[in-house]
Structure 1
Amino acid sequence: MDRLLFGDNQFFGVNHMSEDKARAQMMRFRDTGAIMEVLDQAYDAGIRTFMCTTHERIREVADVVRANPARYPDFLFYPCMPYAHKYANAMTDLGLVGAISSFLPEGGKMAAMLSGGMALAQKDAGSIARLLIDAEMKMFAGLKTPVIFLQNVFTDLMLGLGFTGAFRIFHDHVREKYGAEPGYITMNLPALYKALSEEGIENPVICANINKIGFRMCGGHQAYLDVLQNGRLQAVAMSVYASGAIPAEEAISWVTALPNLKSIVFGASSRGNILSTRDLVAQHWKHP
């Protein structure tokens, strides 16, 4: 993985400190051209990896990249699935069975099984999960997706329910079907690392909030540092600036000194902020 990954929160009105800023960003990026303008700035600054949800708007971004291979020869997507709001809206409109059926291939065996009721479907939850992963990945057909992430809403739901076997299903399918490295986004790195270890998933890619002040680091700041110091994982740090609560140089200097840190994912909506983060990472990240 590259050291610096570009995220998509700013494109969809996600800001953990300011609702006003979130609304302004959502309005600014309602057009795909505005999203591509910022992605072009990041790409031209040497940031080649776009870590993104499977939001329907990302399909339009994927279409642009797919149609312009000469412009984007090294563009990488790191899909993060499932996009929770998409499924929540479908559940509201169609109910549980209807929602899942709507994302499965029409006329498939699993869709027919669901129409027979959840009792039947529960007997083959793994097959349904694999089909849903495939449905999410369709928008990235023909594009480079070397790492595929499980979104934190689903990761932490399965973690809380104790259904850690879901992580093995995801892990095996991503590797076998897509030749990609499975990754996991979580709000509780220590608990997830323990669960993955118990499932026999070694040296996992785990993306979590990692910052100097413990902002949104569920499980405790020290517990995170213990895992990073003593565990065997490939950590991806998000919220390194704690939504602006930590000065940029202080934040980058601290996080890049951590062991087992593989990458930083950040969002930005201006060329100046993109270049600033890129240059700070190059300045402070000295260890391999």
Structure 2
Amino acid sequence: MDRVLFGDNQFFGVNHMSEEKARAQQMRFQDLSAIIEVLDAAYAEGIRTFMCTTHDRVAEICEHFRAHPERYPDYQFYPCMPYAHKYANALTEHGMIEALRRFLPDDGAVSAMFKGGVALANKDVEAIMQLLIDAEMKMFRGLRTPVIFIQNVITDLLLGLGMNQCLRIFHDHVRNRYGAEPGFITMNVPKLLDALDSVGVDNPIVCANINKIGFRMCGGIELYEKTIATRRFRPVAMSVLASGAIAPREAIEYVARQPRIESVVFGASSRGNIRQTKALIDELWAARPAEQTPPVETAVA
């Protein structure tokens, strides 16, 4: 994975500290050209990976990149699925069966599966999960997607329900169908690693909040630091600035001190902020001690 990944929260009005700022960003990025301008600024600063949700507007972004392959010869996307709000809205408006029918491919096999609610009656979870993944991936056709993530809203729901095998279904389908690495976003890294160990997923890519004030880190800073230092997985750090609560250099210095963190994902709305954050990550990663690979342990399932 690239060390620096560019996120999409700012484009869709997501800010965990300020609703006012979120609304302002949402208004600013109503026009696709404003989004492309920021992505081009990130590209000019050397960032080649866009880690994005499967929001409906991401399909427009994908169309732009498909239309201009000569401008972005080395660009790649890390899809993060599902975009939960669109499913929640559909469930509220149409009910479970009709909502699933709307999102799944419209072909004879799927229609037959849903006739009379057969799929849900038979609890055909694997088939439904695979079809939903395929439906979400359609917008990325023809683009490079070497890592595909499952969003924390689903990851952590499955953890809470004890449905660990569903995480394995996602893992296997992403690898077998798309030749990609599966990634897992979570608010509870230790619990997720235990669950993945239990279903035989080795050395997973895990994206989670990692910051020096414990912002949205279930279990606390001390447990996270121990987990990062001793467990076998590939950490990706997000919310390193804790939505602006920590100064950039202080925030990235903390993350850089943690062993074996492979990547940092961040969002920004201006080229100046993108340049500053990218430069800090490059500087502080270069200053890391040479030995950053301590012995690892695997939890007993």
Measured at CA, do residues 273 and 122 of structure 1 come closer, stay the same or move farther in structure 2, by a change above 3 Å? farther
Distance 2:248 2:63 in 1: 34
Number of the residue aligned with 1:153: 153
Number of the residue aligned with 2:97: 97
Query: Counterparts in 2 of 1:238-277, with a 5 A limit?
Result: 238-277=238-277
String of CA shifts for 1:121-152, please: whole Å, max 9, x gaps: 54421011101100000000000000000001
Q: Indicate conservation of the 8 Å contact 2:113/2:119, yes or no.
A: no
Which letter does structure 2 place at the counterpart of 1:200? G
Number of the residue aligned with 1:165: 165
Distance 1:120 1:147 in 2: 29
Query: Counterparts in 2 of 1:1-288, with a 5 A limit?
Result: 1-117=1-117, 120-286=120-286, 287=288
Measured at CA, do residues 92 and 118 of structure 1 come closer, stay the same or move farther in structure 2, by a change above 3 Å? farther
Which letter does structure 2 place at the counterpart of 1:268? A
Number of the residue aligned with 2:293: none
Distance 1:66 1:121 in 2: 40
Tell me the secondary structure at the aligned position of residue 73 of structure 2. Answer: coil
Which letter does structure 2 place at the counterpart of 1:126? E
Task: Give the Å deviation of 1:219.
Answer: 1.9
Measured at CA, do residues 216 and 9 of structure 1 come closer, stay the same or move farther in structure 2, by a change above 3 Å? same
Q: Indicate conservation of the 8 Å contact 2:81/2:149, yes or no.
A: yes
String of CA shifts for 1:130-180, please: whole Å, max 9, x gaps: 011000000000000000000011111101000011110000000000000
Q: Indicate conservation of the 8 Å contact 1:232/1:260, yes or no.
A: no
Number of the residue aligned with 2:298: none
Distance 1:165 1:266 in 2: 30
Which letter does structure 2 place at the counterpart of 1:108? G
Tell me the secondary structure at the aligned position of residue 95 of structure 2. Answer: helix
Distance 2:36 2:184 in 1: 26
Number of the residue aligned with 2:295: none
Distance 2:194 2:68 in 1: 42
Tell me the secondary structure at the aligned position of residue 116 of structure 1. Answer: helix
Which letter does structure 1 place at the counterpart of 2:130? R
Task: Give the Å deviation of 1:220.
Answer: 1.7
Distance 2:273 2:221 in 1: 27
Distance 1:222 1:210 in 2: 11
Q: Indicate conservation of the 8 Å contact 1:110/1:128, yes or no.
A: no
Distance 1:51 1:156 in 2: 19
Tell me the secondary structure at the aligned position of residue 155 of structure 1. Answer: helix
Task: Give the Å deviation of 1:105.
Answer: 1.4
Q: Indicate conservation of the 8 Å contact 2:211/2:239, yes or no.
A: yes
Distance 1:186 1:251 in 2: 20
Q: Indicate conservation of the 8 Å contact 1:234/1:262, yes or no.
A: yes
Task: Give the Å deviation of 1:119.
Answer: 6.1
String of CA shifts for 1:224-275, please: whole Å, max 9, x gaps: 1111010011101001001111111011111012112010000000000000
Q: Indicate conservation of the 8 Å contact 1:185/1:208, yes or no.
A: yes
Measured at CA, do residues 83 and 122 of structure 1 come closer, stay the same or move farther in structure 2, by a change above 3 Å? farther
TM-score normalized with structure 1 length = 0.97
Which letter does structure 1 place at the counterpart of 2:57? R
Tell me the secondary structure at the aligned position of residue 184 of structure 1. Answer: strand
Distance 2:46 2:8 in 1: 17
Number of the residue aligned with 2:297: none
Q: Indicate conservation of the 8 Å contact 2:80/2:151, yes or no.
A: yes
CA RMSD of the aligned region, Å?
1.2
User: Structure 1 residue runs of 4+, over 3 Å off?
Assistant: 118-123
TM-score normalized with structure 2 length = 0.93
Tell me the secondary structure at the aligned position of residue 257 of structure 2. Answer: coil
Distance 1:222 1:121 in 2: 44
Distance 1:259 1:52 in 2: 25
Distance 2:121 2:285 in 1: 48
Q: Indicate conservation of the 8 Å contact 2:238/2:265, yes or no.
A: yes
Q: Indicate conservation of the 8 Å contact 1:97/1:118, yes or no.
A: no
